[in-house]
């Protein structure tokens, strides 16, 4: 049975909807980057971005970090947010550098960025930060993963990797198989880098677990991201993240933990 969401697949599928589309046209907000010191493109050796499906919570647990700036997305829901950047309830998208290695910049993106805002958000990051290597941490829902076989066993930590053309091949982590697709900020960031020929850009995906019928980011998911970081040549960050603390944040339903992922790109 068709639902409104199914109709959305063919957005303006009928010409009668086109006028409605013109009248209800939405404006896509452009993110704003605020730096603590001078406004300039930040250069770094490694940029690590954690998306708001669990990975941001992991990066948020790094204690020894210095705030450089923040990304503001107009219209985002910041209810119950706090100004304390280290608080577990922080719902911002702050930019930090690692105290142990200031050439490493991390962005725990605690915003729930909608698909339509992803590209502008990715551009805001990439236009303001120039990195030699970029690692995006994201999670994959088991309900959307297509293995092509009914006998797939999920042994956690379960990781998959996507990399841009020209990137150094990583053999320790299997590549994501056809025809699986990634959405949201991870897709937008990787697409931006791929089309511009930026090498050494990786999207690390850790499988969420099915818990009581829901796809949730668990300790196993986060351990996978931690191990993946080490495999991608970031042992420093891998040692700094605290899986246990991240799990507590997720279980307390803190922001930046288990965002509801809209898995239905095609119904």
Site string for another protein, 159-178 (x = CB under 8 A): ---x-xx---x-x--xxxxx
The C-alpha atoms of residue 70 and residue 94 are separated, in whole angstroms, by 4
Cβ-based nearer residue to another protein, 18 or 86: 18
Cβ-based nearer residue to another protein, 164 or 249: 164
- Point out which span in 9-17, 79-87, 103-111, 234-242 binds another protein (CB under 8 A): 9-17
Token pair for residue 206? 């850790």
The candidate with the shortest Cα–Cα distance to 71, out of 116, 26, 115, 123, is 123
Please report, to the nearest 10 degrees, the dihedral formed by the alpha carbons of residues 46, 164, 122, 44 taken in order: 20
Query: Is 150 among the residues that bind another protein (CB under 8 A)?
Result: yes
Q: Which of 21, 43, 86, 168 binds another protein (CB under 8 A)?
A: 21
| Residues in 247-266 at the binding interface with another protein, rule: CB under 8 A | 265-266
Give me the least distance between CB of 86 and another protein, in Å please: 31
The candidate with the shortest Cα–Cα distance to 44, out of 109, 163, 165, 134, is 134
Query: Is 25 among the residues that bind another protein (CB under 8 A)?
Result: yes
Query: Is 141 among the residues that bind another protein (CB under 8 A)?
Result: no
Count of C-beta atoms within a 10 Å radius of residue 134: 27
The C-alpha atoms of residue 82 and residue 92 are separated, in whole angstroms, by 9
The C-alpha atoms of residue 189 and residue 252 are separated, in whole angstroms, by 29
Q: Which residues bind another protein (CB under 8 A)?
A: 8-16, 18-26, 28, 115-116, 118-120, 122, 146-150, 152, 162, 164-165, 169, 171, 174-184, 186-188, 190-192, 194-197, 203, 265-266
């Amino acid at each position: 049975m068709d639902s409104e969401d199914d109709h959305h697949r063919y957005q303006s599928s009928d010409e009668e909807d086109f006028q409605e589309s013109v009248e209800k046209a939405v404006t896509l907000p452009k993110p704003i980057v605020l730096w603590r010191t001078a406004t300039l493109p930040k250069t770094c050796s490694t940029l690590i971005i954690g998306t708001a499906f669990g990975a941001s919570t992991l990066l948020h647990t790094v204690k020894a970090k210095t705030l450089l700036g923040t990304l503001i997305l107009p219209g985002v829901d910041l209810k119950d947010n706090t100004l304390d950047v280290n608080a577990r309830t922080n719902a911002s998208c702050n930019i930090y550098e690692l105290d142990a290695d200031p050439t490493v910049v991390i962005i725990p993106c605690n915003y729930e960025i909608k698909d339509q805002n992803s590209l502008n958000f990715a551009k805001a990051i990439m236009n303001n930060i120039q990195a030699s290597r970029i690692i995006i941490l994201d999670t994959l829902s088991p309900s959307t993963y297509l293995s092509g076989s009914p006998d797939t066993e999920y042994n956690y930590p379960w990781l998959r990797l996507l990399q841009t053309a020209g990137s150094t091949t990583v053999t320790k982590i299997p590549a994501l198989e056809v025809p699986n697709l990634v959405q949201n900020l991870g897709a937008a960031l990787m697409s931006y880098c791929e089309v511009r020929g930026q090498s050494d850009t990786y999207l690390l995906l850790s499988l969420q677990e099915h818990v009581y019928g829901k796809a949730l980011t668990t300790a196993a998911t986060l351990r996978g991201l931690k191990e993946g970081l080490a495999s991608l040549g970031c042992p420093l960050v891998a040692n700094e993240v605290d899986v246990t603390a991240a799990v507590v944040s997720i279980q307390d339903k803190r922001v930046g933990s288990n965002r509801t992922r809209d898995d239905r790109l095609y119904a």
